[in-house]
Amino acid sequence: DTGVSQDPRHKITKRGQNVTFRCDPISEHNRLYWYRQTLGQGPEFLTYFQNEAQLEKSRLLSDRFSAERPKGSFSTLEIQRTEQGDSAMYLCASSPPSGGIEAFFGQGTRLTVV
């Protein structure tokens, strides 16, 4: 499978715990994005990487959220001290370095905070 891969697919955690999600983009894609989607809404942008550099962060990304892409390949999104409001689908997408900047999405990680 050469698409965007996300792990885990589902995560249930207790309020206050830390969670980490992983995203593996399509291999030749240097652009990587994280989005968050709540029920009945479209995805909302969280952050953007070009290679290993984090170039843009949404104001939605509070201090409890951190994202990395250490070698310009896979990326991780960590949420510290989770709250019930963090329950959502977290989507990762990647785009190639040139062309029409078409975004390809992974299957997402469904987070439930209890």
Partner 1 sequence: KQEVTQIPAALSVPEGENLVLNCSFTDSAIYNLQWFRQDPGKGLTSLLLIQSSQREQTSGRLNASLDKSSGRSTLYIAASQPGDSATYLCAVLTDSWGKLQFGAGTQVVVTP
Contact set with partner 1 (CB under 8 A): 4, 6, 31, 33, 35, 40-45, 48, 50, 55-56, 91, 93, 95, 100-108, 110
**Residue 101: CB minimum distance to partner 1, A:** 5
Integer angstrom CA distances of residue 14 from 35, 63, 79? 22, 19, 12
- What is the C-alpha separation between 20 and 75, in angstroms, rounded? 10
Closest distance between partner 1 and the C-beta of residue 104, in Å? 6
Write the single-letter amino acid at 48.
Answer: Y
**Residue number, 3 or 16, with CB nearest to partner 1:** 3
Beta-bridged to residue 91, according to DSSP, are 35
* Structure-token pair, residue 2: 């050469």
Q: How far is the CB of 3 from partner 1 (least distance, A)?
A: 9
When the beta carbons of 56 and 78 are compared against partner 1, the nearer one is 56
